[in-house]
Structure 1
Amino acid sequence: MNNSLPDIEPLLANLTDQVGALIETEGRERCALVGIHQGGAWLADALQQRLGLPGEPGAVDIAFYRDDLARGGLQSEVRPTRMPLDIDDRIIILVDDILYTGRTIRAALNEIFDYGRPAAVRLAVLLERPGRELPIEPDISAHPIELPPRQRVKLRGPDPLHLVIEEATA
Structure 2
Amino acid sequence: MTSDNLSVDALLDSMGKQLKATLEQRQIENPLIVGIRTGGVWLAERLQQQLALQEPIGVLDISFYRDDFTQKGLNPSVQPSQLQSDTNGRHIILVDDVIMSGRTVRAALNELFDFGRPASVTLVTLLDLQRRELPVQADVVGATLVLGPNQVVKLSGPEPLELTIRQRT
The answer for the alignment partner of 2:62 in structure 1 is 62
The answer for the alignment partner of 2:131 in structure 1 is 131
Deviations along 1:69-104, one digit per CA (max 9) or x if unpaired, are 222211111122111411111111110111111110
The answer for the alignment partner of 1:105 in structure 2 is 105
Residues paired across the two proteins, number? 168
- Structure 1: runs of 5+ lacking an equivalent: none
> Deviation at 1:105?
0.3
The answer for the alignment partner of 2:87 in structure 1 is 87
Give, in whole Å, the separation in 1 of the partners of 2:95 and 2:108.
10
TM-score, length basis structure 2: 0.92
1:28 aligns with 2:62: no
> Deviation at 1:149?
2.1
Give, in whole Å, the separation in 1 of the partners of 2:21 and 2:84.
21
Equivalent AA in structure 1 for residue 28 of structure 2 = G
SS at match of 2:64: helix
Deviations along 1:27-82, one digit per CA (max 9) or x if unpaired, are 323x1111100000110011111211102111100000111122221111112211
Maintained 8 Å contact 2:101/2:134: yes
SS at match of 1:71: helix
Give, in whole Å, the separation in 1 of the partners of 2:113 and 2:120.
11
SS at match of 1:55: coil
Give, in whole Å, the separation in 1 of the partners of 2:48 and 2:119.
20
TM-score, length basis structure 1: 0.92
Give, in whole Å, the separation in 2 of the partners of 1:47 and 1:113.
22
Give, in whole Å, the separation in 1 of the partners of 2:135 and 2:165.
25
Identity rate, percent? 45
- Structure 2: runs of 5+ lacking an equivalent: none
The answer for the alignment partner of 1:7 in structure 2 is 7
The answer for the alignment partner of 1:156 in structure 2 is 156
SS at match of 1:28: coil
Give, in whole Å, the separation in 1 of the partners of 2:79 and 2:110.
16
Maintained 8 Å contact 1:3/1:147: no
